[in-house]
């Protein structure tokens, strides 16, 4: 997916839930599967930068490698 498509589909402020990260042991640099976060941008590698709730990790998401979903509503 191109940067432009990622920016349209996952704009800054979008709420995300990590379903399964690419680290199959479930410890994705301190971000556990099921953790919620907020998109802060798209990086130079076309990764989705996320500020994870209650976590200082800089684990970014990659479309096609990580499984995640948009969280709608509260």
pLDDT digits (tens, 9 = 90+) for 27-45: 677 788 899 999 999 999 9
Sheet order of strands, 15-20 included: 48-52, 36-42, 15-20, 67-70
Domain count, the chain: 1
Structural domain containing residue 54: 3-70
- Which CATH number covers residue 37? 2.30.30
**Is pLDDT of 19 > 90?**
yes
d(CA 74, CA 66): 23
Predicted TM-score of the model (pTM): 0.87
Region 55-64: what's the mean pLDDT?
Answer: 86
């Amino acid at each position: 997916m191109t940067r432009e498509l990622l920016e349209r589909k996952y704009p800054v402020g979008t709420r995300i839930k990590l379903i399964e990260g690419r680290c199959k042991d479930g410890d994705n640099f301190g971000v556990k599967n099921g953790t919620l976060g907020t998109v802060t941008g798209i990086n130079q590698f076309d990764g989705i930068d996320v500020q994870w709730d209650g976590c200082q990790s800089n684990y970014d998401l990659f479309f096609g490698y990580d499984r995640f979903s948009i969280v709608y509503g509260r």
